[in-house]
Amino acid sequence: MALVYIVEDDVDIREMEAYALSSAGLSVASFPEGKAFFAAVRNQLPDLVLLDVMLPGEDGMTVLRCLRADAATQAIPIIMVTAKTSEADKVRGLDSGADDYLTKPFGVMELVSRCKALLRRAHRKSAVLAFESIELDDDRHRVTVDGHETELTFKEYGLLKFLLENSGTPVTRDRLMEAVWGFAFTGETRTVDMHIKTLRKKLGPAGALIETVRNVGYRIGR
């Protein structure tokens, strides 16, 4: 049974989320702030974290960055939950490593559906993906170019993985945003372009393997 940790200071929302996910067959533990949450993480890693942005003490963005900076927790799926609705707030959370974003108020069915979708994605069988000099080992969360390891951010890694999974197929910016940032993005797509730019730079000469497909998006391989 998948284990979900909820970090939410509002007791009514916390209990609602816990009840909904427990009723859906998931194991749940909930915490009002980051300190108790991290103590539980040190004892047992969850399969998914539902993380509120506005928390007492360390806010949700700080908790998120700490999780992504630790090798033991960097791959745990995380859904940010907040009352903030601006596009900038969403992009900030997703750029910091969140996999999805829920804005209050939200429906119970939507909450359960998004949690289960992320859990399915996380438990999908991993593989080694490669094209020419680039190799991505998803089990080890490791990227090498000509055998030399390359350090990527969480989003750069996600972009490269998705492009390799769709090798030879042009992928639109909207599709990359939805797959890597975790939501259907209908506004400005420069975020994708900026991440592709830094990804290419880190890959060195192999960065040229990521082709720009005019008026579409990007592609690796033909």
| pLDDT computed for residue 109 by the predictor | 92
| pLDDT computed for residue 168 by the predictor | 83
Model pLDDT for residues 23-72, shown as the tens digit of each residue: 999 999 999 999 999 999 988 889 999 999 889 988 899 999 999 988 78
Q: For 33-47, give the DSSP string.
A: SHHHHHHHHHH---S
Q: Under a CB-based contact definition with an 8 Å cutoff, are residues 39 and 63 in contact? A: no
Give the CATH number for residue 14.
Answer: 3.40.50.2300
Please check whether residues 24 and 114 belong to one and the same domain. yes
Give the CATH number for residue 164.
Answer: 1.10.10.10
| pLDDT computed for residue 105 by the predictor | 84
Residue 32 corresponds to which tokens in the numbers above? Answer: 């009002």
Please check whether residues 112 and 42 belong to one and the same domain. yes
Nearest in space to 219 (alpha carbons), one of 162, 150, 180, 178: 162
CA distance 19 to 222: 48
Please check whether residues 104 and 146 belong to one and the same domain. no
Q: Which residue has the tokens 């609602």?
A: 16
Please check whether residues 107 and 164 belong to one and the same domain. no
Model pLDDT for residues 61-105, shown as the tens digit of each residue: 999 999 998 878 888 999 998 876 666 667 777 777 888 888 888
Of 92, 123, 154, the last residue of a domain is 123
Residue 188 corresponds to which tokens in the numbers above? Answer: 């400005």
Please check whether residues 38 and 90 belong to one and the same domain. yes
Please check whether residues 132 and 61 belong to one and the same domain. no
Please check whether residues 106 and 200 belong to one and the same domain. no
CA distance 97 to 154: 6
- Does the pLDDT at position 173 exceed 80? yes
Please check whether residues 186 and 82 belong to one and the same domain. no
Please check whether residues 66 and 145 belong to one and the same domain. no
Dihedral sign for Cα atoms in the order 182, 188, 189, 194: negative
| pLDDT computed for residue 84 by the predictor | 67
Q: Under a CB-based contact definition with an 8 Å cutoff, are residues 60 and 7 in contact? A: yes
| pLDDT computed for residue 188 by the predictor | 60
Q: Residue 169: give the domain boundaries.
A: 128-220
- How many domains, the chain? 2
Q: Under a CB-based contact definition with an 8 Å cutoff, are residues 34 and 56 in contact? A: no
Rounded to two decimals, what is the model's pTM? Answer: 0.58
Nearest in space to 143 (alpha carbons), one of 198, 202, 99, 94: 202
Model pLDDT for residues 106-127, shown as the tens digit of each residue: 889 999 998 998 888 776 555 7
A 10 A CB-CB count for 63 gives 25
Model pLDDT for residues 127-164, shown as the tens digit of each residue: 788 899 999 988 778 899 998 999 998 889 999 999 99
- Does the pLDDT at position 184 exceed 60? no
Q: Under a CB-based contact definition with an 8 Å cutoff, are residues 79 and 46 in contact? A: no
Please check whether residues 22 and 119 belong to one and the same domain. yes
Q: Which residue has the tokens 């069988």?
A: 125
Of 123, 141, 173, the last residue of a domain is 123
**157 phi and psi, to 5 degrees?**
-60, -45
Please check whether residues 207 and 147 belong to one and the same domain. yes
